[in-house]
Amino acid sequence: MFVQPLARPISRAASPIPSSIGRSPDLIKPYSNSQDFEIERIPKSPMRPLMPLADPGYENSPDFRDYVSRLLDATNAPFTISGRITLNASQLVLFFRTKTGITHSLDFPVDVDYCLPPSLEVLIGTCKPHQTTDLITYPERPSLLYPTDLPLTFSLDIANHPILDAVRNTLFPNLPNGHHMSTRRDKLEIVDTGSRLDLQPHSLRQDGRTATIIVTLPSRFEGGSLVVHNSNSLQERYLGRGGKIDEVEWTAFLPDCRYEIEPVQRGCRISITYGVYLRSFGPSGPEPLIRPSDNFLDQLAPILNLSRGRKVAFYLEFDYPVNPAESLAESVVPLLRGGDSLLYHAIKLYKLGPELHWTAGGYIWPIDRSLDFVGDDIAERRPLRPHVLSSALPLRGQVPPLRGPFNASETSNVADDEQASNLRMKVEQSGAISINEAEITILKGWSTTTAGKERVYFVSGGELEKLVINVLLVFVP
């Protein structure tokens, strides 16, 4: 017989408050609003042992100063740079042709310790010993060079990766605008197990290049460090990644550097060398980027024939973001656009040596002079104090009044003779001469000539003014 337990009634009343008998009133915590927040504590990292502090005056020790000096020298004049491209190596293919005319393809990644691809065997057989190989030290395993007269194509296009940007920003930080870098494949080098690549002098790369880029293909190897030497006997050693399947390593260095590859202990090191070349439409550029059409050159030819032996000039049509007070007129060349660019390149194509000059109010400045009217008050003819000059500068969004004898605006007021005389004196003191004295003929058409305008601030009578400056393209046919 089963005995049914007594059923307990379910109470719907609130739970009784626990008795506080026998407890100290101080132990009862009042209700706090902070209980409404859910807080997760971040685990703290274990405390690292404190390193002993350097002794006072450590920065003046000869050893420390020598370390800092070496670091600053390497920072101020880098001659090489290295990086990696992250990609899927299985998508890379190397196409090459043997002397018999048969085309082969080598798939990556390559691991000769696991399996020697037949195409790699054919590639090694097609290569010839490097011209700098020491056959006495390495008679059986010389470094190999793919013949330059045979076709070779690699599916990796370094122009699709920011390698050239890194080379430009690091090795050529002062390269002006308007200069363009391009690459051209140079050679393919193979360093097999037990061989090395001897020091490669820069005389082997005298083809006008600006830099050299070495791309290491994803083929596993051990050893084979790349060592780059500069002209000051400094060197950088790149240990390499051993041909990782998800990365392609590249190294760039200046044209006067030498490089070598240390002995490969295991595997096969395959690399492709590229030459970096500079093209520019600047005044000292090796090659122009654009060439005007024959029709444009035919229209320029009669002007050159009729002006032979004379100094002639054209006004530039566009405005350019260049401050004539801080820069030479030649700094506009990399920024030329539209018809200005066509005209400059056409004159340069005729080997006439075009020059850009600042001009204003019938005066022209020498090619090696800039304008600076901010430091003096042309009315008082004495230097301005710094607080006066700063108070005279316009606030953002405000345009100061434009006056003066050099102003071409029709809405401006005519300046008095004294201000014109002071400004003319200031212009002549800055090195400018009259266009008539320079014997320059400005070429204009029947219609109104549109000239680009640049502006230079100057102070006259305590007020900030702007002098309108044009750019002249001067040449002698």
Strongest mean pLDDT among 155-164, 255-264, 346-355:
255-264
The pLDDT value given to residue 271: 93
pLDDT digits (tens, 9 = 90+) for 84-96: 888 888 889 999 9
The pLDDT value given to residue 126: 92
User: What's the mean per-residue pLDDT of the chain?
Assistant: 78
Whether residue 404 is predicted with pLDDT greater than 70 in this model: the reply is: no
The pLDDT value given to residue 66: 84
Task: Determine the average pLDDT of the residues in 182-207.
Answer: 89
pLDDT digits (tens, 9 = 90+) for 38-78: 666 667 667 666 667 777 777 778 888 888 887 887 788 88
pLDDT digits (tens, 9 = 90+) for 212-250: 999 999 999 999 999 999 988 888 999 876 666 778 899
More confident residue, 436 or 283: 436
Task: Determine the average pLDDT of the residues in 144-158.
Answer: 90
The pLDDT value given to residue 386: 39
Q: Which pTM does this prediction carry?
A: 0.63
Task: Determine the average pLDDT of the residues in 370-391.
Answer: 53
The pLDDT value given to residue 389: 35
Task: Determine the average pLDDT of the residues in 181-210.
Answer: 89
The pLDDT value given to residue 7: 45
Q: How confident is the model at residue 35 (pLDDT cuts 50, 70, 90)?
A: low
Whether residue 450 is predicted with pLDDT greater than 70 in this model: the reply is: yes
The pLDDT value given to residue 4: 47
The pLDDT value given to residue 28: 43
More confident residue, 419 or 349: 349
Rounded to whole angstroms, the Cα distance separating 257 from 211 reads 9
The pLDDT value given to residue 457: 75
